[in-house]
Amino acid sequence: QVQLVESGGGLVQAGASLRLSCAASGRTFITYSIGWFRQAPGKEREFVAGIRWSGGITYYAYYADSVKGRFTISRDNAKDTAYLQMNSLKPEDTAVYSCAGGGFPAGRTYYYRPDEYDVWGQGTQVTVSS
């Protein structure tokens, strides 16, 4: 049974940086695709970034327009962990951030919808003050 555990959230001022971690257990991580989502109070969960397995040891990263150029998704397969580096944080980035996993087949299809992922972490709060 796959489990995902996030960490790294917190309270920061606008312009600061945070790095979120998503530690996976229970399956082979190298072929597992990870997505980061966030949900602010009163809003729907939205896609932030994804890193999908495309075959072999190749991965593709993709981002929501709202975070492109500020956030970077990465992974360390030796540690079974994915990361979301968030720079130049803005108050509108305030939300609960969750990582999600999907055992998608090799390829370049990008997955943006929450219902496409089958395993979720518990979430971590990110609060950005102005």
pLDDT tens string 71-108:
999 999 999 999 999 999 999 999 999 999 999 998 88
Condensed to tens digits (0 to 9), the pLDDT of residues 37-47 reads 999 999 999 99
Whether the CB-CB separation of 82 and 35 falls below 8 Å is answered with: no
Name the percent of the chain lying above pLDDT 70: 100
Integer Cα distance of 33 and 89 in angstroms: 25
Dihedral-angle region of residue 88 (phi above 0 means left; psi in -120 to 50 means alpha; beta otherwise): left
CA dihedral (11, 17, 102, 29) positive or negative: negative
